[in-house]
Amino acid sequence: MEIENIDLHRLKMPLKTPFETSFGRLTYKDFLVVCVNGEGQTGYGESVSLPFPIYNEETTDTVKYMLKEFFIPKLLKLDGIDHPEQLQSIFKPIRRNQMAKAAIEGAVWDLYCKKKGISLSEALGGTKKEIDVGVSIGIEPGIPEVLEKVETFINQGYKKIKLKIKPGFDLEPIAAIRDRFGSDIPLMADANSAYTLEDIHLLRQLDPFHLMMIEQPLAHDDIIDHVKLQSELSTPICLDESIHSYEDARKAIEIGACKIINIKIGRVGGLAEAVKIHDLCKSNGIPVWCGGMLEAGIGRAHNIALSSLDNFLIPGDTSASNRYWETDIVTPEVDFLRPGTLAVPDGYGIGYEINEKVMEKYRLETESFSKEKSIY
């Protein structure tokens, strides 16, 4: 597969409603669309980093820098590529920068599938034709607002409700949701690293609410303390921020730091690594689900394809486009097949077309890179 040139678009899209977590408040998504062109076709990837280094150390600007200076020149220097999995060894000398790696790797997967005439789901080994999805609710000004959102999303059919929590906004909203909607709704909490082991007593008070899990309660770079916490909690711990690779997942599972893993393609450096983590978890009896980074349609399409693998046993955070955007950059927009389920597209590649008009509306700039100009 020949890769001739690459376009990098930067977009800024306002969220329909602000999204707040323990680490900050987001009102828009500033991201890159990577277009890898070869033999008359285009593969699309999306950067999932946030504008600020508050979830992990990457930002839209660091991703852009890494793509421009390292990953794009490396890719253009190649004499073609047979399979996207080869990118793992090609990019390996460059440490970390997982979201930058994933953005370009995803575009190469899409191009590869389009050339082969298969769907991305099929290329990854996915078997499901539809996936169950949930919704992630940010920290709201108060309990009434939380209850209103939960009600709206349950009525829409979402199959998992995830509430962001932080110290001072944890037991009360969770208790209020259970009180109002009963013990049957699939409910979980995501702390985004807002607690320490000193909070064990408080976190134990979540146990009676029978949450599906608590996601990343402790530090973003910890697995050891999570082992201690898990031994004191009946609520299963799910890791998000702490898992950047297959090796991280292996170690976390080995020492008992979690019972569930949230897989984000960007956080682990791409689809190939995500599939490896999926397989590892499967063979260890650890269910996984696909996390989200408030993606626009291209990233969302990648998440759907990944979620079609069979150990994605828990509804993911890949909600429909209209949960985030006035209009999404793909067509058709990501929408329910039935309430709470998304169809896994069987078209070639990501299975969605790009809505050029919407792309144009939110586009800030474009840079193009070609083989001739590549000097790496």
Ligand X SMILES: O=C(O)CCC(=O)c1ccccc1C(=O)O
Binds Mg ion (CB under 5 A): choice among 240, 248, 295, 328: 240
Using CB under 6 A as the binding rule, the residues of this chain from 124 to 183 that contact ligand X are: 136
| Residue placing its CB nearer to ligand X in the complex, 311 or 319 | 319
∠ at Cα 359 (293, 126), nearest 5°? Answer: 50
Question: CB-wise, 59 or 136, nearer to ligand X?
Answer: 136
Contact yes or no for 335/154 (Cβ under 8 A): no
The answer to whether 216 touches 193, Cβ cutoff 8 Å, is yes
Q: Give least dist CB 154 to ligand X, A.
A: 16
Q: How many CB atoms lie within 10 A of CB 248?
A: 18
Token representation of residue 262: 């949230």
**Binding of residue 192 to ligand X (CB under 6 A):** yes
Q: Is 240 annotated among the ligand-binding residues?
A: yes
Q: Which stretch binds Mg ion (CB under 5 A): 49-57, 166-174, 211-219, 300-308?
A: 211-219
Radius of gyration of the chain (CA): 20
Instruction: Out of 22, 37, 235, 319, name the contact with ligand X by CB under 6 A.
Output: 319
Binding segment toward ligand X, per CB under 6 A, in 121-129, 205-213, 285-293, 333-341 = 285-293
203 φ/ψ angles, rounded to the nearest 5 degrees:
-65, -30
Give the chain's count of helices (H) and strands (E).
Answer: 13, 15
The percent helix, strand, coil of the chain (3-state, each to 5) is 35, 25, 40
Spatial neighbors of 15 by CB under 8 A, at least 6 apart, are: 26, 27, 28, 29, 294, 324, 325
Query: Of the ranges 58-66, 69-77, 122-130, 290-298, which one interacts with ligand X (CB under 6 A)?
Result: 290-298
Minimum separation from the CB atom of position 322 to ligand X (A): 12
Quote the least distance from Cβ 206 to ligand X, whole Å: 17
C-beta closer to ligand X: residue 192 or 308 = 192
List own/partner pairs for 230-237 with CB under 8 A and 24 or more apart. Answer: 230/256, 230/257, 230/258, 230/259, 231/256, 232/200, 232/203, 232/204, 233/203, 233/204, 233/206, 233/207, 234/207, 235/203, 235/206, 235/207, 235/210, 235/211, 236/212, 236/260, 237/213
Q: Is 63 in the site for ligand X (CB under 6 A)?
A: no
Question: CA angle, 243 as apex, 237 and 246 as ends, to 5°?
Answer: 120
Helices (H), 27-132: 60-66, 72-77, 86-91, 98-116, 120-124
CA 9 to mean position of chain CA atoms: 20
Shortest-Cβ-distance residue relative to ligand X: 292
Q: Is 215 annotated as a binding residue?
A: yes
Applying CB under 5 A, which of residues 132, 190, 273, 328 lies at the interface with Mg ion? 190
Does 240 engage in binding with ligand X (CB under 6 A)? yes
112 vs 158, which CB is nearer to ligand X?
158
Q: Which residues participate in catalysis according to the annotation?
A: 164, 264
Query: Out of ligand X, Mg ion, none, which partner does residue 194 contact, by CB within 5 to 8 A per kind?
Result: none
**Can residue 294 be called a binding residue for ligand X (CB under 6 A)?**
yes
Number of residues forming the site for Mg ion (CB under 5 A): 3
Q: Considering beta carbons, is residue 120 or 135 the nearer one to ligand X?
A: 135
Query: If you search the block for the tokens 């209209």, which residue do you land on?
Result: 322
Determine, following the binding rule CB under 5 A, whether residue 30 of this chain makes contact with Mg ion: no
Tell me which of ligand X, Mg ion, none is bound by residue 106, counting a contact when its beta carbon lies within the kind-specific cut-off of 5 to 8 angstroms. none
Asked whether position 49 contacts ligand X by CB under 6 A, the answer is no
Closer residue to Mg ion, CB minimum distance, 215 or 295: 215
- Please give the residue ranges that form the binding site for Mg ion (CB under 5 A): 190, 215, 240
Feature table: binding site: 190, 215, 240
- Please give the residue ranges that form the binding site for ligand X (CB under 6 A): 55, 136, 190, 192, 240, 291-294, 317, 319
